[in-house]
Amino acid sequence: MKPSLDLATLRQRYQSGELTPLALVDDLLSRLGGEDGHAIWIIRLDADALRAYASKLEGRDIATLPLYGIPFAIKDNIDLAGLPTTAGCPEFAYTPEKHATVVARLIDAGAIPIGKTNLDQFATGLNGTRSPYGACRNAFNPDFISGGSSSGSAVAVALGLASFSLGTDTAGSGRVPAAFNNLVGHKPSCGALSTRGVVPACRSLDAVSIFALTAEDAERVLAVAAGFDAEDEYSHPLAPHGFDFGRAPSFRFGVPLQKDLEFFGNAEAERLFGEAVARMKSLGGTPVAVDLAPFLDTARLLYGGPWVAERYLAIRDFFDAQPDKVFPPVREIIAGGRDIGAADTFAHLYKLRAFKRVCDAVWNGIDVMLTPTAGTIYRVDDMQADPIRLNANLGYYTNFMNLLDLAATAVPAGFQHDGLPFGVTLIAPPHQDGPLLHLASRMQQALDGKLGATDHALPPAETLNLLADGQVRVAVVGAHLSGLPLNHQLAERNARWVSATQTASKYRFYALPDGKRPGLIQVSDGGAAIACEVWEMPASQFGSFVAGIPAPLGIGKLELADGSVVNGFICEGVGVADAKDITEFGGWRAWLAAQG
């Protein structure tokens, strides 16, 4: 069995000296040899080009390159300098002189591009069969669809031909193929990854997506690929995510009402979704019933409104000149955008704004939403016989995402009895990419499956903190404890309780003369552990919190029992001159209780 290409395994092998980038290229060439029976590739770099990329890494410091020697595949609507970009249409092809912004970021971080992958033509489809380069086949059973439009990108990773890959996701193209091939598929917050150098589908909605074997791998790639691009009008920085529901001991997750769940007759998918809900509960989640109707109403706008005209606009000159070169189902969809007028466009924009207002309110009651990624999967011949209706079924849970400016992560959720994978999607408001991937990791670990379609076991989880959270943790020991008089100062600043713990055994604890507050003093010997609570608040609120603390108290660095160091309440030495030493009580609550 060939070694795993997951990022943690490759990095360990590079660091130990067991593997070099040139040796990896030789291994990849042996994996890629033979017939492309799954119709994964449109064009690959030849051996000399691959070795040239690998050679550039010789003598480089692995520690400075987060993706050192990591092989990746690129959906063929994303530019790789020197190779044609076809968007699944050979007559449309052009050869770019520059990499797409996102590709350049990855290569600069040490990643090695392998080639360009098959797709539903012009990224219009969710099934992977709409390509003149052949219908891409499922990694587990080639009689079934791979999902699309980022079909080849998903299958390449699932079959162990690349560590990760880039797709695009406007309507579900980065999530549906992930579900059908047992992968993590992350659809980032819109604008977080530049789309400069990407052939548009719907330019105002397009997102570059990431396929990976693990949620940790996806986070590593996202941390490199994300970034503001001043030359992309739709680009914006990925903001700090705040509260990390993905690692919280408890969180609220939305589950669609039974009336809104649709599995298109697939009882196995329904069973597996029920198991995924139970898995979320086992991780500390509290399910909250959500009416999916306004989300589904939003989804219908994508192919029933002006965004079809945006698809037409993206390739208008080519489409009008050579319509016969466009794949029949794609041609039928895009042609529908020719006659959409300005008045209809505004009418649909007004509808979208109304739907979004309703959908946005849902997030007041939940941290994350859980849905199936797709309600069912189809055979290739069935999809080709009924391409519009069955493809629409695949988008039932995905088409609303970018219209509502949401982030999402598709994560494996088990296998049907026929051996085909099933996946679920975690959904959250924009900039929640970190928490989504952290929760996806926990879901993967709880399932404890294999990597893609390989026989490699899921590696142990890693605690990554590569995406800014914008949060500050504060340890409180007195009147700010839960239920005590000053706790409201935390609540007013959107602070969240993290844990109840103790300090390290190096502090003395005093009741200050006013009797309302304690003081904590670090000592070199004779100290004890003092009960405390750790809270987390937005960094933007931290300054006003500190400013309101009266002398002799203040905020300093406090060591906890587990050895970690956080911001916490400390006291000036002069403040305890007339104070009572209450260290023996072990905490403020115990002292208050002793006073009756």
Q: What is the pLDDT of residues 512-554, one digit of tens each?
A: 998 899 999 999 999 999 999 999 999 999 999 999 999 999 9
User: Distance between CA 210 and CA 183 in Å, rounded?
Assistant: 10
Do you know the residue count of the chain?
596
Domain range enclosing 136: 7-447
Do 379 and 481 belong together in one domain?
A: no
CATH assignment at residue 499? 3.10.490.10
User: Distance between CA 185 and CA 495 in Å, rounded?
Assistant: 31
Contact assessment for residue 428 and residue 368, using Cβ atoms and an 8 Å cutoff: yes
Contact assessment for residue 146 and residue 38, using Cβ atoms and an 8 Å cutoff: yes
Contact assessment for residue 117 and residue 125, using Cβ atoms and an 8 Å cutoff: no
Closest CA to 73 of 91, 50, 89, 92: 50
Average pLDDT over residues 247-259: 97
Beta strands 251-256; 285-290: pairing state: parallel
Closest CA to 378 of 418, 325, 405: 418
Residue with tokens 């050869």: 95
Do 401 and 513 belong together in one domain?
A: no
CA dihedral 126, 131, 133, 135 (to 10 degrees): 50
Question: Taking phi first (over 0 means left), then psi (-120 to 50 degrees means alpha), and beta for anything else, what does residue 454 get?
Answer: beta
Element (H, E) at 497: strand 496-502
Do 232 and 102 belong together in one domain?
A: yes
Average pLDDT over residues 440-451: 97
Average pLDDT over residues 19-37: 95
Question: In this model, does residue 459 exceed pLDDT 80?
Answer: yes
What single DSSP character describes residue 74? E
Question: Can you read off the two tokens belonging to residue 532?
Answer: 């405390």
With respect to residue 1, please indicate whether it lies within any of the assigned structural domains.
Answer: no
Do 552 and 437 belong together in one domain?
A: no
User: Distance between CA 400 and CA 402 in Å, rounded?
Assistant: 6
CATH assignment at residue 209? 3.90.1300.10
With respect to residue 464, please indicate whether it lies within any of the assigned structural domains.
Answer: no
User: Is residue 146 among the annotated active site residues?
Assistant: no
Do 175 and 231 belong together in one domain?
A: yes
User: Is residue 356 among the annotated active site residues?
Assistant: no
User: Distance between CA 3 and CA 454 in Å, rounded?
Assistant: 10
Question: In this model, does residue 312 exceed pLDDT 80?
Answer: yes
What single DSSP character describes residue 553? E
Question: In this model, does residue 596 exceed pLDDT 80?
Answer: no
Question: Can you read off the two tokens belonging to residue 154?
Answer: 């998903």
User: Distance between CA 322 and CA 300 in Å, rounded?
Assistant: 29
Report how far apart, in Å, the C-alpha atoms of 444 and of each of 161, 182, 255, 326 are.
21, 10, 19, 39
Do 167 and 294 belong together in one domain?
A: yes
With respect to residue 119, please indicate whether it lies within any of the assigned structural domains.
Answer: yes
Question: In this model, does residue 423 exceed pLDDT 80?
Answer: yes
Specify burial of residue 13 (Cβ count, 10 A radius: 0-12, 13-18, 19+): middle
Beta strands 41-44; 112-117: pairing state: antiparallel
With respect to residue 29, please indicate whether it lies within any of the assigned structural domains.
Answer: yes
Catalytic, out of 149, 150, 163, 441: 149
Do 94 and 221 belong together in one domain?
A: yes
Summarised one tens digit per residue, pLDDT across range 116-168 is 999 999 999 999 999 999 999 999 999 999 999 999 999 999 999 999 999 99
C-alpha of 405 from chain center: 14
Average pLDDT over residues 193-222: 98
Question: Can you read off the two tokens belonging to residue 319?
Answer: 């489409």
Closest CA to 152 of 29, 36, 248, 232: 36
Do 101 and 193 belong together in one domain?
A: yes
In degrees and rounded to multiples of 5, residue 33 shows phi and psi of -70, 155
pLDDT of residue 433: 98
With respect to residue 458, please indicate whether it lies within any of the assigned structural domains.
Answer: no
Do 406 and 491 belong together in one domain?
A: no
With respect to residue 187, please indicate whether it lies within any of the assigned structural domains.
Answer: yes
Catalytic, out of 75, 153, 165, 187: 75
Residue with tokens 């959270």: 469
Report how far apart, in Å, the C-alpha atoms of 478 and of each of 35, 131, 495, 516, 587 are.
69, 66, 16, 9, 8
Do 439 and 488 belong together in one domain?
A: no
pLDDT of residue 34: 84
Summarised one tens digit per residue, pLDDT across range 212-244 is 999 999 999 999 999 999 999 999 999 999 999
SS3 at position 448: coil
Indicate the average pLDDT of the chain: 97
Do 296 and 214 belong together in one domain?
A: yes
Do 411 and 489 belong together in one domain?
A: no
With respect to residue 457, please indicate whether it lies within any of the assigned structural domains.
Answer: no
Catalytic, out of 4, 151, 153, 173: 173
Closest CA to 152 of 68, 222, 218, 86: 86
For the chain, give the percent of residues with pLDDT over 70.
100
User: Is residue 281 among the annotated active site residues?
Assistant: no
User: Distance between CA 108 and CA 112 in Å, rounded?
Assistant: 10
Count structural domains, the chain.
2
Closest CA to 98 of 88, 85, 116: 85
With respect to residue 453, please indicate whether it lies within any of the assigned structural domains.
Answer: no
